[in-house]
Amino acid sequence: MTAGPTRVDAHVKVLDERVVERARQSGVDTLVYAPHFTRLPEIRERAERFSTEAVTVVPAREVFTGDWGNRRHLLAVGLDDPVPDFITFEAALAEFERQGAAVLAPHPEFMNVSLTRAEVGAYRDRIDAVETYNAKLFGRHNDRGRRIAEAFDIPTFGSSYAHLDGTVGAAWTEFEGDVRGEDALVTALKERRPRSVVRQGDPATRLRRLVEFVHLGYENSWGKIDRLLLSGMEATHPRHIAYDGRFDDVSVY
């Protein structure tokens, strides 16, 4: 356990031995692992498998609320029960609150996948933190997040948002004191514990960020086509058999 501040990379999409080792070398204590279209039990299993004495992996879900054309991403930390994608925004929030999860707004106002400034303002009492630095994005995108957090007096967080293992360590959220572990992190987020957002600006990191942004183009072109047309029903689709019909009435598809 760490005695001083805790460095938390609050959102990564990849997880293996290389990712954990890179986090350790960067001084990151905790990785919040929230891959797309992956059910919570699988996320939890991988988080436990790859956690080490030096780096704790916390399971989380970035839920796609709404439909593909107008989806709003919400990052939930501290879920006990699975929550699917493609349900209404209000239904997702209600489920997070029922489970006592911390609710984070990643990459606000980015493309058509994020909460807008107006939406963050309207739900400010139900959002525990707003992302103000995302290593996958550029300055103008992150500046918008910072201005939104300041305007509505909502705590901040930063992350590498790594979809590629080399980006881990590019940014993190540094909390005062020891917040390692899922319960401790959820408490720190919901209680709005003091923290700072730290980013790396060396040439190698800037290059990796550019590679990540190019990768984003793939995700939103061929990757999206693959999801929509070729892959069939996602494991996190609300009408998947795994959810036993619990979300049928709030499904958007």
The better pLDDT of the pair 64, 205 is held by 64
pLDDT of residue 79: 98
Task: Give the integer Cα–Cα distance in Å for 119 and 154.
Answer: 13
pLDDT of residue 68: 86
243 within domain boundaries: yes
Crossing angle for the helix pair 17-26 and 40-50, nearest 10 degrees? 60
Buried b (16+ CB within 10 A) or exposed e, 150-188: eebebbbbbbbbbbebbbbbbbbbbbeeebbebebbbeb
211: domain CATH number is 3.20.20.140
Task: Give the integer Cα–Cα distance in Å for 180 and 231.
Answer: 36
Token duo for residue 38: 């992956």
Token duo for residue 10: 């609050």
**Per-residue model confidence as pLDDT tens digits over 177-195:** 999 999 999 999 999 999 9
pLDDT of residue 189: 98
**DSSP class of 18:** H
Residue 3: pLDDT band by 50, 70, 90 thresholds? Answer: low
- Lowest mean pLDDT of 5-9, 28-32, 50-54, 65-69, name the range: 65-69
Q: How many domains does the chain have?
A: 1
3-state secondary structure of 103: strand
Q: Average model confidence (pLDDT) for the chain? A: 91
Domain range spanning residue 226? 6-250
131 within domain boundaries: yes
CB 32 within 8 A of CB 159: yes
**Per-residue model confidence as pLDDT tens digits over 228-237:** 444 557 899 9
pLDDT > 60? residue 222: no
- Tell which residue, 112, 208, 115, has the closest CA to residue 164: 208
pLDDT > 70? residue 210: no
pLDDT of residue 231: 53
Residues 6+ apart with CB under 8 A from 96: 74, 76, 79, 83, 103
pLDDT > 80? residue 240: yes
1 within domain boundaries: no
